[in-house]
């Protein structure tokens, strides 16, 4: 007797469909799984047998062979349990499954037949939709993932017994799934932050143009709060971005960290003790790291010089290519990493170099060593580098802020609209992606701007990359000011935001 069903396996952040075949024949009773099955898949034999018996079905006392095709792909994960159990019951004539060619199964079985939540279901659903599958049979605990994919009819079951009457089951996904139970992440509002006028301008510029930003200042001046406030300034995730990001979180089994109701972009802030594998992804079976969890969102590194040099060096490739490649013996894995990079650091080990009314305890050598922990190539990939100064007494004690009357989101929305119209026929999303040839085309200078640019080039000794990043920032500032051409005032403000980027000695 022979039968088959379909399941899927995760490879990187994508899923590939797998055909689960079962042959029941005469011979010495046994249960064998072939097709490059990993340890967790081989262990399913014992779980499936106990689940079938404890669910009221009969276990065929015959020679059972399970094949996972194609045989050249490594299979891992406990989610094959449901597919193996279902096809075995169908092959032995105990249940009847319709539409086998258009339905796929994924779920982990307990010994009593109950189904557990499994990781990576969203990627499997997306792959199934791309391969024209129409239905999915999943654990009830994966309702959130199944709701996000509208083009598949998902059956959500809690126990293996429900396979016997699947078509009449009332467990199909409801279209009114409620995300209100999900705890909303409380990000600060930029208008509620006191003082820091220059830092706020830089943050709005970064949000409008997609620029990377480095905040340099003493402890307690508000660097972290400023960085967190960017979440509410960024446009919500669109449908495609939401599915891309949610599928990565589904693989890491932390989908609850995304605010699916408000569609906030992810804000990932790992601790400075993080390892390279945790940041960029890795493991024997590679899984996405923190930079992939920040895909379509923001990666924030607080206390930047405290991170290991080897960890920071790994950021150079994803900052440039928007993805990371991890090579293992069984193959190469590509993980998306299209994030906006924000970072914060103190000017010196004690944090008070160059701060008025505070005495710095660090020697000049300590300050140089501390600041040189940031390599030139990494600093060169950060468009905006600004100093954040401590608040004055009046700024701290002032209860009413004029900033509350400023609609930052509306300014950013208008600037983003200008960029969308300007680059509608180009493969450019925002100003941070402009290259040298694009600057010559889209960054026309207004009157008197040429002179400012020439003086800036001489004083800062701009490299080609420094010139490109200066013009990117200037283009964004002009968009925020609703200027078709880059005016003199726009360019001067951009120079102010690029000053630290071109002066490695910073506060010395």
In order of 83, 98, 136, 164, 296, the CA distances from 94 in angstroms are 15, 14, 20, 8, 47
pLDDT > 50? residue 507: no
**H or E element that contains 497:** helix 488-502
Give the sign of the dihedral formed by CA 182, CA 187, CA 191, CA 192.
Answer: positive
* pLDDT recorded at residue 284: 82
pLDDT above 70 covers what percent of the chain?
93
User: In this model, does residue 505 exceed pLDDT 90?
Assistant: no
Quick one: pLDDT at residue 233? 94
Q: Note whether 333 and 286 are within 8 A (CB).
A: yes
Separation of first and last alpha carbons in the chain? 80
Instruction: Give the residue-averaged pLDDT of 126-135.
Output: 94
pLDDT at 230 over 50: yes
Average pLDDT, the chain: 88
The string of pLDDT tens digits covering residues 296-335 is 999 999 999 999 999 999 998 899 899 999 888 777 889 9
Burial 140-158 (b: 16+ CB within 10 A, else e): bbbbbbbbbbeebebbbbe
Q: What is the pTM of this model?
A: 0.90
Residue ranges, CATH 3.40.50.300, the chain: 179-401
Q: What is the pLDDT of residue 506?
A: 39
Per residue in 337-365, pLDDT tens? Answer: 999 999 999 989 998 888 887 889 899 89
Question: What architecture is domain 2-168?
Answer: 2-Layer Sandwich (3.30)
pLDDT at 503 over 60: no
Cα(11)–Cα(32) distance, rounded to whole angstroms? 24
Q: What is the pLDDT of residues 391-440, one digit of tens each?
A: 877 777 765 555 556 788 999 999 999 999 999 988 899 999 999 999 98
CA gyration radius, the chain: 28
pLDDT grade, residue 206 (50/70/90)?
very high
Beta-bridge partner residues of 334: 325
Nearest alpha-carbon partner for 354 in 204, 202, 221: 221
Residue 238 has pLDDT above 90, yes or no: yes
Residue 40: pLDDT over 70: yes
Q: What would the DSSP string read from start to end of 241-272?
A: HHHHHHHHHHHTT-GGGS-TTTTPPPEE---T
Confidence at 177, pLDDT banded by 50, 70, 90: low
DSSP result, 339-396? -EEEEEE-SSSSS-TT-TTS-----HHHHHHHHTTS-HHHHTT-SEEEE-PPPPHHHH
Residue 404 is predicted with a pLDDT of: 57
The per-residue pLDDT for 439 is 92
CA distance 489 to 497: 13
| Angle 344-267-199 from CA coordinates, rounded to 5° | 40
Quick one: pLDDT at residue 449? 86
Q: Are 172 and 156 in contact (CB under 8 A)?
A: yes
H or E element at residue 23: strand 14-25
Distances in whole angstroms, Cα of residue 203 to Cα of each of 282, 312, 328, 477, 497: 32, 22, 39, 11, 11
Which of 315, 232, 280, 216 has the alpha carbon at shortest distance from 12?
Answer: 280
With a pLDDT cut of 90, the percent of the chain lying above it is 62
Query: How many H helices and E strands in the chain?
Result: 20, 18
Q: Which part of the chain has CATH 3.30.230.10?
A: 2-168
Angle between helices 488-502 and 464-480 (to 10 degrees): 140
- Pick the more confident residue, 507 or 104: 104
Per CATH, the homologous superfamily of domain 179-401 is P-loop containing nucleotide triphosphate hydrolases (3.40.50.300)
- DSSP 8-state secondary structure symbol assigned to residue 163: G
């Amino acid at each position: 007797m022979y039968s088959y069903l379909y399941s899927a396996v995760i490879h990187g952040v994508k899923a590939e469909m797998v055909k689960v075949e079962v042959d029941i024949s005469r011979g010495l009773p046994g249960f064998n799984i072939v097709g490059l099955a990993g340890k967790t898949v081989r262990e399913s034999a014992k779980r499936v047998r106990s689940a079938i018996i404890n669910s009221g079905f009969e276990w065929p006392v015959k020679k059972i062979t399970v094949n996972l095709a194609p045989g050249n792909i490594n299979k891992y994960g406990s989610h094959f349990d449901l597919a193996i159990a279902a096809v075995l019951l169908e092959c032995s004539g105990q249940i009847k499954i319709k539409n086998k060619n258009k339905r796929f199964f994924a779920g982990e079985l307990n010994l009593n037949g109950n189904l557990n939540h499994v990781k990576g279901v969203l990627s499997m659903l997306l792959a199934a939709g791309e391969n024209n599958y129409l239905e999915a049979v999943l654990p009830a605990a994966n309702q959130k993932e199944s709701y996000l994919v509208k083009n598949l009819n998902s059956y959500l079951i809690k126990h293996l017994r429900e396979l016997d009457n699947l078509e009449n089951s009332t467990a199909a996904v409801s279209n009114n799934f409620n995300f209100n139970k999900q705890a909303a992440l409380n990000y600060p509002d930029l208008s509620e932050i006191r003082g820091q006028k220059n830092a706020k301008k830089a943050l709005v510029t970064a949000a409008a143009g997609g620029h990377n930003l480095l905040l340099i200042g003493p402890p307690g001046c508000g660097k972290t709060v400023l960085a967190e406030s960017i979440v509410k300034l960024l446009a919500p995730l669109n449908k495609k971005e939401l599915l891309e990001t949610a599928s990565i979180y589904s693989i890491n089994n932390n989908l609850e960290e995304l605010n699916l109701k408000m569609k906030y972009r992810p804000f990932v802030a790992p601790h400075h003790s993080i390892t390279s594998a945790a940041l960029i992804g890795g493991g024997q079976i590679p899984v996405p790291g923190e930079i992939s969890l920040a895909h379509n969102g923001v990666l924030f590194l607080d206390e930047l010089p405290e991170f290991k040099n080897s960890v920071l060096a790994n950021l150079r490739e994803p900052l440039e290519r928007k993805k990371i490649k991890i090579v293992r013996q069984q193959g190469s894995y590509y993980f998306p990493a299209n994030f906006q990079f924000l970072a914060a650091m103190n000017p010196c080990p004690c944090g008070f170099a160059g701060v008025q009314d505070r005495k710095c305890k660090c020697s000049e050598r300590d300050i140089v060593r501390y600041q040189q922990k940031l390599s030139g190539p990494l600093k060169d990939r950060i468009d905006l580098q600004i100093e954040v100064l401590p608040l004055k007494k009046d700024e701290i004690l002032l209860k009413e802020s004029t900033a509350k009357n400023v609609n930052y989101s509306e300014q950013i929305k208008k600037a983003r609209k200008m960029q969308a119209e300007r680059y509608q026929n180009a493969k450019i999303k925002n100003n941070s992606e402009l290259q040298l040839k694009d600057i010559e085309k889209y960054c026309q200078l207004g009157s008197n701007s040429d002179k400012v640019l020439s003086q800036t080039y001489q004083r800062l000794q701009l490299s080609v990359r420094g010139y490109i990043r200066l013009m990117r920032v200037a283009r964004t500032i002009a968009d925020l000011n609703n200027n078709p051409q880059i005016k003199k005032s726009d360019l001067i403000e951009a120079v102010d935001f690029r000053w630290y980027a071109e002066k490695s000695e910073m506060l010395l």
